[in-house]
Amino acid sequence: MNNTTNLDHYPVVWDKPPFIKKLWLRWVIIIGASIYLLAALGSLDIDVERVLEGLPRGKRFFESFFPPNFADNRGVVWDGILESIWMAIISTVAGVILSVPIGLGAARNLAPFWVYMVCRSIIAGSRTFPEIILAIFAVKLFGFGPFAGFIALSLGTIGFFAKLLAEDIEN
């Protein structure tokens, strides 16, 4: 016995319903946004002569990337790579060492409530900002260099490992 149903009343292809159902309102928004963008472009005060003057310089700038030439800067590049690797290793070790007491204090079943709240606040504060934002703050505070990177990566590691440790202890 063949059990088929009539599917003729269903649409063949499903289309996502429009965000704005009224067609005239969609056109008003598109035209209004276009007028706004043209007015904003007109207010930029672009000096076409200066743009045309800078095009050859921009072309020369981008052409200097290809092919890359590390012959003159090989020592500088390797020094930077090694400095970055050591900065990452040392900041991870320091972050793990500092995260152990914070993680122990952030475990609800080990620490008093006030210690728990302080440690959880440190973890939340550390996890709030990505490492790149922490690096910007550290560069502003300590200047450009490996110490700023060390501080940023250590704070990121503290947030990650302390939370991991605290939740593992609680469970």
CATH code assigned at 85: 1.10.3720.10
Sign (positive or negative) of CA dihedral 69, 75, 81, 83 = negative
Kindly state the percentage of the chain with pLDDT values over 70.
Answer: 94
Residue 119 in any domain: the answer is yes
Q: How many domains does the chain have?
A: 1
Kindly state the percentage of the chain with pLDDT values over 90.
Answer: 59
Residue 24 in any domain: the answer is no
- The residue with greater pLDDT, 91 or 75, is 91
Residue 29 in any domain: the answer is no
Whole-number pLDDT of residue 86: 95
Tell me the per-residue pLDDT of 40-52, one tens digit each, with 9 for 90 and over.
988 888 888 999 9
104: domain range? 74-170
Residue 133 in any domain: the answer is yes
Residue 166 in any domain: the answer is yes
3 confidence band (pLDDT: 50, 70, 90)? low
Residue 14 in any domain: the answer is no
Residue 33 in any domain: the answer is no
Residue 111 has pLDDT above 90, yes or no: no
Mean pLDDT of the chain: 88
Residue 40 in any domain: the answer is no
